[in-house]
Structure 1
Amino acid sequence: MAAKSIPGATSVSRRRLALVIGIDDYENHPILKNPKNDAEKLSSLLQRIGFIIDTSSLVKTYAEIKRKILDFELSIELNDVVLFYFAGHGVQWEDQNYLMPKDFPQFPETNEADLEEIAGILEKGVLKKEMADMLKADILKKKIAGILKMKAINAQDILNTLSDRKPYVTIFLLDCCREYVLRNPDLNTRGPSSNTRNSKSAGLAAMHKAGALVAFACAPGTYVDDRPKDKNSLFMEHLIKHIETPNEDIVNILRDVIDGVMEDSNDTQIPFLSVQLRHKNIYLCEQAQVQPKVEAPISENNQSCMFGQDTQILWKFSGIGKPRVAWFFNDQPLPTNDRLQVTETDDGTSILTIRQAKLADEGVYKAKAINAFGEAEAQTALKIDCIKPVINTNLDTVLQVTKCEILTLKVIASGTPKPHVVWMRDDNELIPNDRIQVTTPTGSDDQYTLTILNVQPEDQGEYSVMISNVGGSLQSDKCKAIVSKSPMFIIKPTTQKVKQGETAVFMTTIDGYPTPTITWLLNGKLLTLKEDVEVQFDAATGQSKLSIQNVNLEQHAGSITCRVKSEYGEQEETVRLDILVAPTIIEDLPIQQEIVSGRDIALKVVGKGSPRPSAQ
């Protein structure tokens, strides 16, 4: 609603008084949720637009409310603007509206004495049997009327007394049309009579008073439910939207409220409005044409926030009503989301909340308040602070790792924002791949890990890690990784059988790092390289070959031992070299030999060969 200029005769110099009551915690009737919230919100808004507030969040009982109303009435002076608001339970009875205090008792029921009285009347024949229920209802009505007069507050009496003080205007607002609390089967059996048309009605009865404006949250004779899921009632929700509109007639404000309530309720709730005013242009929020201004000594400031932390930027603005505030970041409209949120308080403070600040949030934030008469702006330069990385647990100086196993290096480093790391070997950056893996921390963890699978000799070297963020950088200590492996046979040599004069070949494959030395022995003695002995070794493949040419039974037959040795251990394997030699006769049979008949004879032949020959 646009702000309007103030016509000639206004109430700029008039006092504005308000008594606001909200009761929710009833002792004997249904507890409500909205009234207390509604009263507190209305009090805050009225105070902000210049009303002298007599709030009564602690005033709830019959005696307390009566005392408060009397004090309020006595405070009214001639030509004051007076506003009375009540939220809670209310009821109409015999065309009169009653406001129910917290300690209002339960409504009575017919007791045994009443029933005996009715029975006695019936016995005397004064009434017929069918009239008993109506008589019972009349007895109840008298009891209820008595309790209401003694324990509830008559709304019309309040309105009359306030008006008798000769205020400039009386604004009388009731939001107490909750579910009808006088429902009773005994009462409902009796229909409307000629002089009592409200014996079964709900809600409130219409109220009127010369010089006053009266509004109910819903139409006479109807009621609305409390809204336990919402903070405020539907009527108050729309009153909040319009009550601070500057220089707007109260009648127009309430008509806007009525339109909003009807629209939101699909016409099931229609507020009541009675206007019997003697004056026009009754403004609740009356202000001169003033553009917004920043409520701070200076409209620029600097602010810092630690990276990853939450922070708030807030500016308070004043002006006509509540100026609309728009936020900008580096002169561009600021988009809001789950991380960037804007909220406003009742006193005109606009708050920008930044959650988990990022480096990209650094810049200039501007809040611009706008109303019909101009604008005001304030800005904050936000700096995102960082913490230079710190190494909490450094690398080990030396690390021994076995070839073909896994190498793991760990460093614990903190900083804000979390540092970025680069792993290096011999001052050369390591590029991650399937074998070289880098793990960075998540959450509150600060551990950075380098893992190298299937370690090879080329992985040996000095490792370090460069740690950096926008706050600075540093390098870890160097860790010398030593790759080693005890000597071992991958393929063992095997026994060879070779014909004499040919070449004997023994093959083996070994592993170990550093590369082991390999020696061959014949019958426990070191084989030296001669013309007939050759040893070959391929360090890349670990293959070794022993060749003995022109093998000789007497010289070469026996055990062959392959021995591998390094600073990390020693192993050996022994096999046989069998030299095959064809049999030869050294001493043959005699050409002729005499024998005696009947005696044994022995013939001797001496031969040699490898393996040992057999005679046939």
Structure 2
Amino acid sequence: MIISLDVLPILYEEGAVDFVTQENDDLKISFEVTEMPPRFINPICDMETPETTTVLFECSLMGRPSPIITWFKGDKKIPDDNKKYLHSSDGDNHFLKICRISTQDSGVYTCRAINVVGETVCRAFLKVMSTENLSGQTRAPKCIIPLTAVTAAHGTPVILQCLVNGKPNSTAQWYKDGHLVQGSRCIIQEKSSGHFNLLITNVTQNDAGEYKCLIQNQAGHTETTALLKTKKEKPVFLSQLSPTAVTEGETARFTVTVAGFPKPSVQWFHNGKVIQSSTVYILIEGKEEYTLVITKLTSDYEGEYSCTATNIIGQTTCSTYLEVKKSQPPTFTVEFCSERSPEGGEVSFKYEARGHPIPDVKWFKGAFQIGPNRNCIIVNNSNGSGLIQIKSIKQEDSGIYTCKALNHFGEASCSAELVVFREAVQQEQHPVIHERGYKVTMTEQATESRLYQVSLPGQERSSSDQMLQSPTKADSGEYSCKASNQHGADSCSATLNVTGKRITVHWCVCHLDQGWQKGPPDYGM
């Protein structure tokens, strides 16, 4: 069975959710209020006041997210950067104060509230009376702007205000349900002549009732009354808990936002057991935000965590699961190998590493750390794989490259060598013919930027220069040069023909200078 429920703002405020749940105890409906367009609870009111006094426009509104408030006189925005106009806000209550008003301040004033969901405005007319019209004999107080009914949320401030005129100036007394108002939370203010306010700094359930302001002077008296209501609402989670996975030794944090009137009390639970504040559990409470911080996590703290908010209207709970992962030092599952490449080429070293938490990776050439640049690209993926790519390599890029993986629980590394060589340039080959009895010399370009000089023919020598003086027919044959090091071996060869008084030599490329011999190359080690 699928049940849908549309909750209008007016129904939500009046407690429609409670009505539905009370009709059927087996049906529970929970929802999250994430957005609400602005709506004025108490709009600004028309005012009439004499010159040189101070006027205070006040309004109360609701909306989520909190609306941005802008004030206008006519169609012009009122600045908040001089001594005449003062903007202020206190929670859901917003104020515009106009100091030492004159008849030119008469007009229509607008308060605009806007958020991402919507926009609303309220307007009021201000009439400023000149002192000439007010001069004359004594007059009994007359209420120009009476008190208006207010509905306030628990814990918020409320201002009850009225404006009167009369001559001489009047005094005021405030009553609640017939009793004189007293107490430190109730502040009686006279903003200006004839402007009386009662400020209740922190509304509670006991503040609800009928308020009366009695104003009097030598010529008489008047009074104005209004009701103050307090909103009652069951706790509701404006933000819920979500599942979390944290590694051993680290810190977990859960935060919820709870609304309700009266203000709810909040308790945290782990696997159904109440959590008390300790060195491991830290409980933080804000205006509507409650946070549970769990430090020095071990596997003992894995499980279900729940938060319960309760007030006299009702109770609500949200829960989630905390997974505590085992710590794991880094290891390389795929290591890279040594590479050999010619100058101008491109080389990549690829790796795969694992660990928990995912390790940070750093690259080194020798003892120096490498960073990305125009010819060096470093990629570190979130799954633990990555690579370093070196473009347009040069011989100075040769060396030992090391990849280090680190987290809180250890480190691992793997290394490989990059050998960069200069490719041989094959010169045009052609027979070399020389008079018998003279030496033959030829030059070749070899790998690793070395220059080899070869002289033919002659006996085997240990250097790269092979020379035969006064060759004869017996010296004819194939000559080879073998080169080897710890990375491998290579060879080159040439054919020597001694015929009469002419010598013909056929050349091949020689890469490294290690040793000469007559006959085909021998690769045996």
Greater relative contact order structure (CA < 8 Å, 6+ sep): 1
Higher strand share: 2
Instruction: Verify same fold: TM over 0.5.
Output: no
Question: TM-score scaled by structure 2?
Answer: 0.35
